[in-house]
Amino acid sequence: MPKRSKIPLLQFLLFLVINLPGASQEKKPREADRYLEILENAKDSLYNQVLTVFDKYIEEAPGDVSVKIERCKLIGKAMYDTYEDYNPNEEEYSHCVRSLVEEFPAHHEVLLYWLDNTWGDSAIAIGNQILNINRSDPGSWKDSELSKVYQKLARQYQYSGTAEQVIEHAELAQLLDDSIDLTYLMAQQYLDKNQYQKAKTLLLSKVDSTDDGHLLKDKANLLLEIGMDKDALLLFKYAQKDSSVYLDHGKIAQALIKNEHFGEARTYLLEDLNSSYFKTTALHSLFLFDYDHSPKDSVLNTYKKLIADDFHNDTFGKYRFMMIFKTPFQAWKLNDALKLIFFLLLMIILVIIPYAWILPIHFISQRFAIINPSPALQASKWSLTDFWIISSFVMIIEVLAWIVFDYQDMLASFFSDVYSEPGNIISLNQANYALFYFSLIMVLTLGYLKRSDYRFLTSSNWKIGKSIGLAILLSFLLRAVYFNLARKGILPGFEASMMGSVVDSLKSINQYYNPLLTFLFAVIIVPFYEEYIFRGIILNSMDRRIKFIAANIIQSIFFALLHDNLSLFPFYFLFGLITGFLVKKSNSLLPAVVFHSTNNLFAFIAIMRM
């Protein structure tokens, strides 16, 4: 006869210990959580017995709402498999909750339990139902109860509502119960709206070293993301006091580096290397740190670990070239030569890619014998060759910026076995990336233009005053019309800055350098070179080969795609169409440049207000 397990018997004895005192059948059951502890290792044998305890008591006391709620909790959790996210009693649980609500439709405890265990649109409907009940009978609900309702609604609106709804309900929840801290939730919404100062103020408004460690960690991560490194480090140190919190050592190291605590930072980087699931990310971080702050031997040792881990950790040879400045006499190996070949192949591919859109335009013009001797800028001599050259150089500059300032992210985009964590929204690296990219594109444009090309800044059709005045007026009209259509839901949401992903780059320049530099690039440099590239070279080279309308649509698509924000694609597309027609009508780039500068001036003002 096989030996029987003692665990079910032990669990049953514990069950009896809890329930035998005062052994009347109608004894009020304990909380569901007490029984769930017992059921953990003997669910099948004890579940029905525990349920019987509840049922017998409810027969004697059918009006005890709290016990009926505990019974539903038991059904919902007793057999639930957290690993599989499956509850075999789900139907029975749903029936229990429905019956509870039908029997006690106005009971506060029942409605709050119903709300707490519902999600999505259903939770929003229940929450608003409770609020309507309170409006019809003011004062019937306690502030603490209403605070829970507003808190639940704020969290649900995070997924199926607007930022304004989340913020409104979170503020009301905190107003009714000042012990609740929803500042992290609200700060996330303000970040989505590019309102960084409000986000920072909120994150620091309710901070105490005794706060929940998980919340402190989340706030610290968000502060680090928006460039508030000193504040982030303080919150990380507070969070470390809670031993139950898992902290990302790489994030703490990042905050320490920003605050120039280099010795302590390396300790955390090594801990991150030992504990992190993504060893590659930790190795990249350690190498870059050692390169800037550690002795030559440490740098060389970390570099060897990095390249030994995976060839793709330095596919295009950036780190190998960096090592020339640390160990100039280190021998080049076969792998190093392969990296150089990969880099050259990448450059060649970037030169070839523009043929994907140049050749179809060339074929169409040849097939239908389309030659337009009078393009938008009538005296321009730009051809499809110029379109190809400028396209190749723009892509090469962008990839070089990617390699120099966001190499790991680039590798992760090419190779699935490399992982890269998203970079901070606001950072010195982001600012340097933007300055590098903007400056090189400007140098490219100035180097490519001939002296005669600058005459396109004056118009043979319009006076200078008309060009400037009409451009400014149209810029106002575009934003006003788009804003109204966005508010009505006809077009995608209208961001305060209307510059998509570019706003983070400009915000980074503004924070780590100087507002005058932000103004220079946003309002003067970027409008100048983008108009010469898109409405000058690209539009006119195509306008010689295909109809103007088609050429204007194509350049507008390229312009919208360059800004890397699909939600604002309609705005940038309309922007490109309008500037293209301005160039056609005026035979000048001046109104397009003014139109562009005016729009970016609005963006600059929005950034300064943030």
- For 206-255, the pLDDT digits (tens) are 888 778 899 999 999 999 988 888 999 999 999 999 888 988 899 999 99
- Which DSSP symbol is given to 81? B
pLDDT at 27: 64
Residue whose structure tokens are 């103007």:
548
3-state secondary structure of 86: strand
pLDDT computed for residue 493 by the predictor: 60
Q: How far is CA 444 from the centre of its chain?
A: 31
Q: Tens of pLDDT along 338-352?
A: 999 999 999 999 999
Q: Is pLDDT larger for residue 270 or for residue 81?
A: 270
Neighbours of 135 (CB within 10 A): 10
Please give the structure tokens belonging to residue 352.
Answer: 């070839």
pLDDT in tens, 131-155: 999 999 888 999 999 999 999 999 9
Residue 607 confidence (pLDDT) = 78
Q: For residues 412 and 284, what is the distance between their CA atoms, to the nearest angstrom? A: 12
Tally the residues of the chain: 610
Separation of alpha carbons 65 and 179, rounded Å: 27
Among residues 131, 133, 171, 137, the alpha carbon closest in space to that of 151 is found at 171
In angstroms, rounded to a whole number, what is the distance separating the alpha carbons of residues 486 and 248? 39
Residue 2 pLDDT grade (very low, low, confident, very high; cuts 50, 70, 90): very low
Please state, in angstroms and rounded to a whole number, the distance separating the CA atoms of residues 67 and 50.
13
Q: Do 211 and 185 touch, CB atoms closer than 8 A?
A: no
Nearest-angstrom CA–CA distance, 138 and 127: 16
Q: Is the sign of the CA dihedral 601, 607, 608, 610 positive or negative?
A: positive
Strand partners, 86: 81
Least confident of 276-280, 434-438, 556-560: 276-280
Is 60 exceeded by the pLDDT of residue 602?
A: yes
Roughly what angle, to the nearest 10 degrees, separates helices 143-160 and 163-176? 160
Q: What is the DSSP string of 471-516?
A: HHHHHHHHHHHHHHHHHTTSS----SSS-TTHHHHHHHHHHHS-HH
CA atoms within 13 A on the CB side of 428: 8
Calculate the average pLDDT of the chain. Answer: 87
480-520 pLDDT tens trace:
888 888 777 777 665 544 454 577 788 889 888 999 999 99
- In the prediction, which pLDDT does 437 show? 96
DSSP codes joined into one string, 318-351? HHHHHHTTT-TTPPP-HHHHHHHHHHHHHHHHHH
Q: Where are the domains of the chain?
A: 1-104, 106-180, 353-382+424-609
With cut-offs at 50, 70 and 90, classify the pLDDT of residue 22. Answer: very low
- Note the pLDDT of residue 591: 96
3-state secondary structure of 102: helix
CA–CA distance, 73 with 35 (Å, rounded to integer): 11
- Cα angle 512, 515, 521; round to 5: 100
How many CA atoms, within 13 angstroms, populate the side-chain half-sphere of residue 70?
A: 20
Q: What is the pLDDT of residue 231?
A: 92
- Compute the average pLDDT of residues 443-459: 93
Rounded Cα distance, 59 and 55, in Å = 6
C-alpha distances in Å from residue 532, one per residue of 125, 490, 535, 562, 569: 53, 32, 6, 15, 21
Least confidently predicted of 21-25, 72-76, 532-536: 21-25
pLDDT of 23 higher than 50: no
Contacts of 197-206 with CB under 8 Å at 24 or more apart are: 197/610, 199/226, 200/226, 200/228, 200/231, 203/228, 203/231, 204/231, 206/181
| pLDDT at residue 309 is higher than 90 | no
Residue with the bigger pLDDT between 334 and 7: it is 334
pLDDT score recorded for residue 469: 94
For residue 81, the cross-strand partners are 86
- Give the separation between CA 282 and CA 251, rounded to whole angstroms: 11
341-369: average pLDDT: 92
> Is the confidence at residue 383, as pLDDT, over 70?
yes
pLDDT at 420 over 90: no
Instruction: Count H helices and E strands in the chain, helices first.
Output: 31, 0
pLDDT of amino acid 450? 94
pLDDT, position 446: 96
Identify the DSSP state of 104: S
Please tell me the distance from the alpha carbon of residue 69 to that of residue 77, in angstroms, as a whole number: 12
Burial of residue 294 (CB within 10 Å: 0-12, 13-18, 19+) is middle
d(CA 403, CA 411): 9
* pLDDT of 492: 65
CB neighbour list of residue 131: distance below 8 Å, 6 or more residues apart: 146, 149
Average pLDDT over residues 23-51: 66
Q: According to CATH, what is the number of the domain 106-180?
A: 1.25.40
Question: Which candidate, 457, 438, 327, places its Cα nearest to that of 379?
Answer: 457
Assigned token pair, 427: 């950072």
Query: Are 528 and 439 spatial neighbours (Cβ–Cβ below 8 Å)?
Result: no
Measured CA to CA, the distance from residue 532 to residue 592 in angstroms comes to 9
Q: Compute the Cα dihedral for 143, 149, 150, 152 and give only its sign.
A: positive
